[in-house]
Amino acid sequence: MSSPVLRSFRLSLVGLAAAAVIAAPARADETCNSPYMTGLIKGQEDFVHVWTLGVKGLGDESDKLVTIDANPGSKTYGKVVHSLSVGGRGEVHHMGFTDDRKQLWAGRLDDSKIFVFDVGRDPSKPKLVRTIDSMPAKTGYVGPHTFYAMPGRMLVQGLSNTKDHGGRTGMAVYSNKGDFVAKYDMPTTNGGDGYGYDIAINPAKNLMLTSSFTGWNNYMMDLGKLVADPEAMKRFGNTMVAWDLKAMKPRKVFAVPGAPLEIRWSLKPGDNWAITASALTSKLWLVKQDANKAWQAKEVGTIGDPSKIPLPVDISITADGKGLWVNTFMDGTTRYFDLSNPEAPKQTYSKVTGKQVNMVSQSWDGKRVYITSSLLANWDKKGADDEQFLRAFAWDGKELKPLFEVDFTKEKLGRAHHMKFTAKPKRQSALAALE
């Protein structure tokens, strides 16, 4: 006997599978968003929202959502136009829009709180409308990481658990109103290691990919202590999982050693492959079907010198699937890989963009690239290397040229982590996907 809410979720999955036949990748906006998202940005983004970790002794010390004007035609271009503190410090990390793009869900990996911001009415002034703190109690999972829009639902990937703060975890489904619907453990059989990180769905193939990072014990640990602890270093995910989306059941576990993180499907029509980067081994991995239509994951490239642990931490795929930005945290480098042949990516450009760099997001047209600095509070560099910023660049296919920069330390904001774009309501169009 299942609850009405759970039955409703199953029904929506059936509808989701039916919709998969006609679903097409988004034709605007960021390239990492859920394919179920509407209200896409057609051209220039107006705002970049930065989910920012509070720092003890800096400003109000609180975690906050920082909104920066990103429209070059605006008088406040490149400036912080809004800052909304949520109280306390709980290891701010990632965000994700609901399918209607009206709300932005943002998580904290330490205390597992989820903050829901209204960005639909006036994205220049996001408003906190809900705080969800039920995930540990409802699911036993800790560390809400990825927020992935599904029809009327948010799929939330956990990183850890309430029993031992290790890496075994799972995914939680919430309604857009914040009601808990269902939970799904990450697989621990048939090669599964139970870890989780990112979610990426290919509706046409009824396929959901998940990747694997590590548990609270490791992501909250001082990075110097962590790398010197051989026991802790054994506790990273080494798998990706292909799920039957409609059934929400693992279909196949891939061996992808060294913590595969962000997953990006190619958005080029007709493409059915995804790419990821493994943080510890500094490799690019391709997930696609083989000649027998069986999904496989294979290593296709190397990022920097793996022996120096460059730590690739974020990737951003171009809208045409022909290129990939990769940020490597340790050497502060932003790299561009030519993905014309996804089986053999080639690095064609690199630039040191900071003393430490983490997230990289590009506009749909690929002309603007945004970079932030913070990885995790206890993994960020120490002393003068602990730069905290958002840097915006223009990309002409040859060179990253600085547009503007916000110094998050000077502005007494905190550690700049995940970014999301919004546009003033008139600039968004639900029909963008059909263009």
Partner 1 sequence: MRSARLGLALLVAATTAQAADPATLGLPALAAPAAAPALVELGRKLFFDRRLSANGTMSCGMCHVPEQGFASNELRTPLGVEGRSLRRNAPTLLNVAIYTSLFLDGRAASLEAQAWDPLLAGNEMANPSAEAVATRVASLPDYRAPFAAAFPGAAPDRATIGAAIAAYERSLVAGGSRFDRWWFGGEAGATTAEEREGFALFRFRAGCAQCHSIGERDAAFTDQRFHNIGTGRARVAAHAAPVRVELVPGLATNVSQAALASFGEAPATDDGRMEVTGDTADRWKYRTPSLRNVALTGPYMHDGSLATLEAVVEFYDRGGGDDPGKAEWLFPLGLTPAEKASLVAFLKTLTGPNVEALARDARR
Q: How far is the CB of 379 from partner 1 (least distance, A)?
A: 7
d(CA 386, CA 384): 5
Site string for partner 1, 64-103 (x = CB under 8 A): ------------------------xxxx------------
Position among 6, 17, 309, 433 found at the interface with partner 1 (CB under 8 A): 309
Torsion of CA 10, 18, 198, 301, to 10 degrees: 150
Residue 297 found at the interface with partner 1 (CB under 8 A): no
Position among 122, 164, 343, 399 found at the interface with partner 1 (CB under 8 A): 164
Amino acid at 85: S
Residue 110 found at the interface with partner 1 (CB under 8 A): yes
Instruction: Specify whether the CB–CB gap between 98 and 151 falls below 8 A.
Output: no
Contacts of 12 (CB under 8 A, 6+ apart): 150, 151, 152, 153
Residues 205-264 that bind partner 1 (CB under 8 A): 216-217, 219-225, 227-236, 238, 257-258
Instruction: Specify whether the CB–CB gap between 101 and 120 falls below 8 A.
Output: yes
Residue 131 found at the interface with partner 1 (CB under 8 A): no
Q: How far is the CB of 364 from partner 1 (least distance, A)?
A: 34
Q: Which residue bears the tokens 């408003």?
A: 127
Please list, residue by residue across 171-198, b when 16 or more beta carbons sit within 10 angstroms of its beta carbon and e when fewer do. Answer: bbbbbbebebbbbbbbbeeeebbbbbbb
- Give the DSSP per-residue string, 205-261: GTEEEE---B-HHHHTS-HHHHHT-HHHHT-B--EEEEEETTTTEEEEEEE--S-EE
Site string for partner 1, 314-353 (x = CB under 8 A): ----------------x-----------------------
Stretch that binds partner 1, among 64-72, 106-114, 188-196, 360-368 (CB under 8 A): 106-114
Residues 356-415 that bind partner 1 (CB under 8 A): 377-383, 385
Q: Which is nearer to partner 1, 78 or 166 (CB)?
A: 166
What are the residues binding partner 1 (CB under 8 A)? Answer: 88-91, 110-112, 136, 142, 162-166, 216-217, 219-225, 227-236, 238, 257-258, 280-281, 306-309, 330, 377-383, 385
